[in-house]
Amino acid sequence: MAGLTPMEKKLAEYKCNTNEAIQLKLVRFPEDLEDENTTFNPEYSHQVFGDDEVAFGYKGLKILLYYIAGNLSTLFRIEYTSKVNEKFDCVEADDVESKIREIIPPGFCTNTDDFVSLLEKEVNFKPFGMLLHTYSVHNEEAGEDITYQIYKADMTCPGFREYHERLQTFLMWFIETASFIDVDDERWNYFIVFEKYNKDGATLFATVGYMTVYNYYVYPDKTRPRVSQMLILPPFQGEGHGAQLLETVHRYYMSSPTVLDITAEDPSENYIKLRDFVLVKLCQDLPCFSPGKLMQGFSQEMVMEAQQKLKINKQHTRRVYEILRLRATDMGDAEQSRSYRLDVKRRLIGPYKKKQRELAKMRRCLRPEELTNQLNQIDLNMQHEQLEESFQQLVSDYRRVLERLAQA
């Protein structure tokens, strides 16, 4: 804060980091409201509060967004210890309430008593749509297995449109480039994960996460489902729910004769790693991925079998092949290791070969000084270093997939 005037220093005290100010909860019991252990914060808030993720005009700002665990009925309240226009004339605080109201649907509570009254009715909430899969996860803290269920829903399910409006608000806090979808487009499918839990002898359901998938038309009579959004809520992350959800969705589409293959829109690195794990798990027992066939190299048989039986496209099948071949390869054997390295690098070198073809064209077309300028940008030694770096990173990622597979 060096170089600021005394007034600027005083005003700077009224800046709040919105990732810290926003407090989220998934409430099951009234006591959760006062339990700090049930609170979690956003990873991002720039889409609501700008790139700096700052709200100006408050000290001790708290933006409370509490959701009932199942139906996600919402309590929204703003608290602060001091506001800038109480201390300084002609200085306005940011309108935090309006910014939040832009993303949360109407009908939320603003006082705790109303929220607790809704919590008492939560026993009536049931998941939407069709049950696809049930699984359990052992909870060390509780010392018991907890049951989870995955449902497929659409906008024709009574109450689902309103529920989805509340659910999608979490995207703004946990997906960097999130945007809301057009729910009136019937080509969207929705897959939601719920936890079953007991409260006063009754079975209730808590929202765990969800995925949206858009069904693209492929001429003449096929569809290509594309995963658009996927989020497991922070209290449930690291428990394997993402893999369960993705595999369940994949198996749902595998059974459809009209589905060509399944893709994803702008997948994150974490999603790609998750997809690697799920697809390898699905593919490992196919005859075309037997150790003997893996050592013979990537084949059209693998492409056809993965596409026809599991709806996996060629690009993803190639990654599956490389991961399973790594498992079948003795990397301590010089010949096997060399063969694997060359096989993977032949795929990785594609972009570099394209640059070399462009360079050959330049030699024919450019003047010497222009050519020298372009050659400086295409350093072959650097390309070899980048290729080796890419290979080592890939092998590291592949090993993590295989480690997880061994524990599954």
Residues identified as active-site = 265
Q: Which residues pair with 23 in a beta bridge?
A: 64
Burial label, 208 (beta-carbon count in 10 A; 0-12, 13-18, 19+)? buried
Helix boundaries (H) for 168-299? 171-174, 241-254, 269-283, 291-294
Rounded (10°) angle between helices 300-310 and 314-328 = 110
CA distances from 101 to 59, 202, 252, 308, 392 (A): 21, 34, 36, 47, 47
Backbone angles phi, psi at 231, to 5 degrees: -145, 125
Q: Are 141 and 187 in contact (CB under 8 A)?
A: no
3-state helix, strand, coil in the chain (%, to 5): 50, 25, 30
Residue 308 neighbours by CB distance under 10 Å = 10
